[in-house]
């Protein structure tokens, strides 16, 4: 059984306790000639995933529909024939909205079955990408709601995305995640349930997709990989509703990055191909460069040298075409030097230390925000250690530790810990002092 997050979220939204729902179901049953005697313990079982028998699911639907002043289906309350899925794909847009907002609410409440959800693999992992690529498209995304959405609301969501992305870069995903999830629940969910035309609705879904993608990045950075994957799948569905193929390709790039981290290299290659193929002319040089660079890393891990080198050439060609000011906000992470550090990692996997060193050094010499600079310095330090230059690696790692101080990021924490262990094992004269600097940076509570 899977916990019924939809029902849990709707109860919370309706302000009904477990005992209150049981009493209302009993009362609704009496109106139909049923003698029901449910108590709060029965509701707890339903929330854990048990499906009530007979007419009870319909009664729950009726009770919640009346309370929330909107029509709900069995699928909306997680009691449809197929049950509830944490990966909301293959459903009408209205049903998707209810499932998506239910996940946001459960995440804000730190429900263990959501925060600790495992990643999905196989068909459930691939299906959202396949559905993004293929028909049918959303012919009309308009919605009738009591609260009318206007251009100012779209502007608010876009500003929020930029704000939380900047916060993530400066403070890390651990510190940012709770704030962006709170914003999704308080500000974004009511807008998605509001009233809007098709044209405004597409703008709304695009702005929401960008914001949800950042929530996924923060979950990924917090080591909540199953939750991050679900946010990315949501963002992909929102991108499809918006009609913006470029946004969808950006979200797939996030899935490619996660696939690399999880060691799913063939999946990473396939996802990147899907983004490049489907987005077509809507894909920008910055995003294409990043996708090719990540493909290069995947091929290198798979031992395919020719595939890796071919993707490196494509990545470098696309990087030369990037024009500042002509990229959407989402691809701002593809800063000068990013492709260099990606290529360095691919070349390192292929065993070409000299070329990897040159690319890593070029990345470090290029200006970047603090978070990106930490990753670049970590890569350069690792390569210097591999080349036997332990003292130089210790100096590079010392700068890395200073840059990382104050950031709450599980990904950076893992990176710093790996460099620390490598330095201690190297026997460098400066290793002990640098290891202490790293330890100081790691003392930030996560």
Question: pLDDT of 116-169, one tens digit each?
Answer: 889 999 999 999 999 999 999 999 999 998 889 999 999 999 999 999 999 999
Is 349 a domain residue?
A: no
Q: How far from each other are the two terminal CA atoms of the chain, in whole angstroms?
A: 31
| 170 is a domain residue | yes
Last residue of a domain, one of 53, 84, 115: 84
Note whether 77 and 166 are same-domain residues: no
Instruction: Mark whether 110 and 190 lie in a shared domain.
Output: yes
Same domain, 94 and 80: no
Asked if the structure places residue 22 within a domain, the reply is yes
Q: Tokens for 320?
A: 């030369």
Q: What is the pLDDT of residue 46?
A: 92
Task: Provide the whole-model pTM.
Answer: 0.87
Residue 260 near residue 302 (C-beta atoms within 8 A): no
Is residue 361 included in any domain, yes or no? no
Domain boundary among 51, 84, 117: 84
60 & 99 share domain: no
Q: What's the number of domains the chain is made of? A: 3
Condensed to tens digits (0 to 9), the pLDDT of residues 346-404 reads: 999 999 999 999 999 999 999 888 889 999 999 999 999 999 999 999 999 999 999 98
Q: Average pLDDT over the chain, rounded to whole?
A: 91
* Domain assignment of residue 139, yes or no: yes
Mean pLDDT is lowest, of 175-189, 191-205, 256-270, 409-423, for 409-423
Percent of the chain exceeding pLDDT 70 equals: 97
User: Are 67 and 107 found together in one domain?
Assistant: no
> How confident is residue 86, by pLDDT bands cut at 50, 70 and 90?
very low
Contact 153, 187 (CB under 8 A): no
pLDDT, tens only, 330-348 = 998 998 899 999 999 999 9
Residues 159 and 220 grouped into a single domain: yes
Please tell me whether residues 76 and 211 are part of one structural domain.
Answer: no
Same domain, 119 and 208: yes
Residue 70 forms part of a structural domain: yes
Contact by Cβ (8 Å): 231, 213: yes
Counted residue by residue, the chain has a size of 446
- Please tell me the distance from the alpha carbon of residue 374 to that of residue 48, in angstroms, as a whole number: 42
- On whether residue 178 sits in a domain, the answer given is yes
Mean per-residue pLDDT, 308-317 = 97
- pLDDT range class, residue 213, cuts 50, 70, 90: very high
**Does the pLDDT at position 42 exceed 90?**
yes
In a domain, 275, yes or no: no
Whether 181 and 110 map to the same domain: the answer is yes
User: Does 17 lie in the same domain as 159?
Assistant: no
Last residue of one domain, picked from the residues 35, 64, 84: 84
Same domain membership, residue 71 and residue 36: yes
Q: Quick one: which of 228, 262, 259, 233 has its CA closest to 107?
A: 228
Q: Is the pLDDT of residue 326 over 80?
A: yes
* Of the candidates 1, 446, 2, 11, the residue with the CA atom closest to the CA atom of residue 226: 2
Same domain, 227 and 115: yes
Domain that holds residue 149: 86-243
pLDDT at 445 > cutoff 80:
no
Can you give the pLDDT at residue 111?
84
């Amino acid at each position: 059984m899977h916990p019924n997050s939809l029902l849990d979220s709707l109860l919370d939204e309706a302000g009904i306790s477990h005992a209150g729902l049981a009493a209302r179901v009993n009362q609704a049953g009496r109106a139909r000639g049923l003698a029901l005697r449910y108590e709060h313990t029965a509701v707890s079982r339903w929330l854990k995933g048990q499906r009530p028998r007979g007419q009870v699911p319909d009664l729950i639907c009726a009770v919640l529909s009346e309370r929330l002043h909107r029509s709900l289906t069995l699928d909306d309350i997680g009691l449809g024939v197929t049950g509830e899925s944490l990966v909301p794909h293959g459903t009408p847009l209205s049903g998707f909205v209810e499932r998506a907002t239910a996940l946001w609410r459960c995440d804000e409440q730190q429900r263990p079955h959501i925060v600790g959800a495992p990643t999905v693999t196989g068909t459930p992992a691939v299906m959202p990408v396949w559905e993004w690529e293929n028909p049918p498209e959303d012919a009309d995304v308009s919605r009738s709601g009591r609260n009318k959405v206007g251009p100012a609301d779209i502007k608010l969501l876009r500003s929020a995305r930029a704000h939380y992305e900047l916060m993530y870069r400066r403070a890390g995903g651990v510190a940012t995640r709770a704030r962006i999830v709170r914003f999704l629940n308080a500000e974004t969910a009511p807008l998605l349930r509001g009233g809007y035309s098709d044209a405004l609705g597409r703008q709304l879904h695009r702005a929401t997709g960008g914001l949800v993608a950042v929530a996924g990045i923060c979950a990924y950075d917090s080591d909540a990989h199953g939750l991050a994957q679900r946010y990315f799948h949501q963002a992909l569905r929102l991108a499809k509703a918006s009609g913006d193929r470029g946004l969808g390709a950006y979200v797939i790039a996030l899935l490619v990055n996660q696939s690399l981290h999880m060691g799913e290299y063939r999946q990473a290659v396939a996802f990147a191909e899907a983004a490049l193929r489907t987005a077509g002319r809507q894909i920008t040089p910055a995003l294409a460069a990043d996708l090719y660079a990540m493909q290069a890393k995947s091929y290198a891990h798979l031992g395919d040298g020719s595939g890796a080198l071919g993707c490196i050439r494509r990545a470098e060609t696309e990087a030369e075409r990037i024009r500042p000011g002509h990229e959407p906000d989402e691809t701002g992470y593809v800063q000068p030097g990013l492709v260099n550090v990606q290529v360095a990692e691919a070349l390192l996997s292929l065993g070409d230390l000299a070329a990897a060193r040159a690319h890593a050094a070029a990345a470090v010499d290029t200006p970047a925000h603090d978070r990106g600079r930490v990753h670049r310095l970590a890569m350069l330090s690792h390569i210097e250690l591999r080349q036997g230059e332990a003292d130089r690696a210790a100096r590079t790692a010392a700068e890395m530790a200073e840059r990382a101080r104050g950031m709450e990021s599980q990904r950076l924490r893992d990176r710093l810990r790996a460099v620390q262990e490598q330095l201690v094992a190297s026997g460098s004269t400066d290793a002990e002092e640098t290891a202490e600097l790293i330890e100081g940076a790691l003392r930030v509570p996560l």
